[in-house]
Structure 1
Amino acid sequence: MPDDAQDEITFVYEDADTVPTITATGAHGGPSPDGASVVANLYVERSSIPHHVSHQIDETGQVDLSEHSEQVTRGELTREVQASLVMTPEHAMQLGRWLQRNARQAMEQREQTFS
């Protein structure tokens, strides 16, 4: 290594004003059709709400909210996509290892805290 070459680099982390914190309970996706990237759509799962509900209007023009005449559902559960990650396969592998390492540490800390 030449004498003037650096042997260390420092990265500074800064949050943009618009960086959100999201909750993810799962991911859906996979390789892109050309294999150049991996797509992970991060979602949070919840009970579905109806697509729409109809209520009767009585003779005085009041809406009767005590019962609905029609309800159209959209399924039992909804997976609401919070964010989509697109990365190279190499970066996906690095991220996977990082997630597993940190997940193990978090589980160990949780075990120590609650035992």
Structure 2
Amino acid sequence: MGEQKKVTFKYYFSENYNPVYVNGAYGGVGPHGEIIINFYLERYGIPHSHTHLINDDGSLGPQIEMEPPDYLSNVIRFVETGIILNLENAKRIHAWLGKKIEELEKTIISSNKPDISKGGAEEVEKKNH
């Protein structure tokens, strides 16, 4: 009986690799039939500046001006990264992500914390044709 075939995957990270937190996505199907997803972090705006009076004793006094005055009425979507997937890869990642969501929901329900005993990550499986 011969030795079973095997393959080893090695991971190399780009010098620019930098995981980012996202809480939303915007995208759709592009003109070449690929799925385009742009990930963003959504948050309320913050003022560009605010001005305070200085009290006689040198301490910071009341705020008298804010620029822009309507900054709280704006929601910022900071887009840092995006991905483009063909249909086959999108289906494979969809299945993998669905499985990870189910695993996380089970651990949260049973213990109120994620199960990190497996390292918390595993590869999206590729189908060999």
TM-score by length of 2: 0.62
Q: Is the 8 A contact 1:23 1:82 kept in 2?
A: no
- Partner residue of 2:124? none
**Separation of aligned partners in 2, 1:70 and 1:112:** 48
> How far did residue 88 of structure 1 move?
1.1
Q: How many residues align structurally? A: 102
Are 1:104 and 2:97 an aligned pair?
A: no
* Structure 1 partner of 2:63: 66
SS of corresponding position for 2:63: coil
After superposition, the CA RMSD in angstroms is 3.0
| Aligned amino acid, residue 10 of structure 1 | T
Percent pairwise identity: 24
* 2:41/2:78 contact within 8 Å kept: yes
Assess, with a 3 A threshold, how the Cα gap between structure 1 residues 29 and 43 changes in structure 2: closer, same or farther.
same
Cα deviation, residue 32, structure 1: 0.6
Post-superposition CA distance 1:41-64 (Å, at most 9, x none): 0111111224x5576xxxxxxxx9
Consecutive unaligned residues in structure 1, runs of 5 or more: 56-63
| SS of structure 1 residue aligned to 2:76 | strand
Structure 2 residues without counterparts, runs of 5 or longer: 52-60, 114-129
Match of residue 27 from structure 1 = 25
Q: Which has the higher contact order (CA 8 A, sep 6+)?
A: 1
Q: Is the 8 A contact 1:47 1:76 kept in 2?
A: yes
Q: Does 1:40 align with 2:37?
A: yes
Question: Is this contact kept in 2: 1:49–1:73, CA < 8 A?
Answer: no
Match of 2:90 in 1: 92
Length-normalised TM-score, structure 1? 0.69
Runs of 4+ aligned residues of structure 1 deviating over 3 Å after TM superposition are 52-55, 72-75
Q: Secondary structure at the match of 1:67?
A: strand
Per-residue CA deviations over 1:14-50 (Å, capped at 9, x if unaligned) read 3333311111112100111232x11100111111224
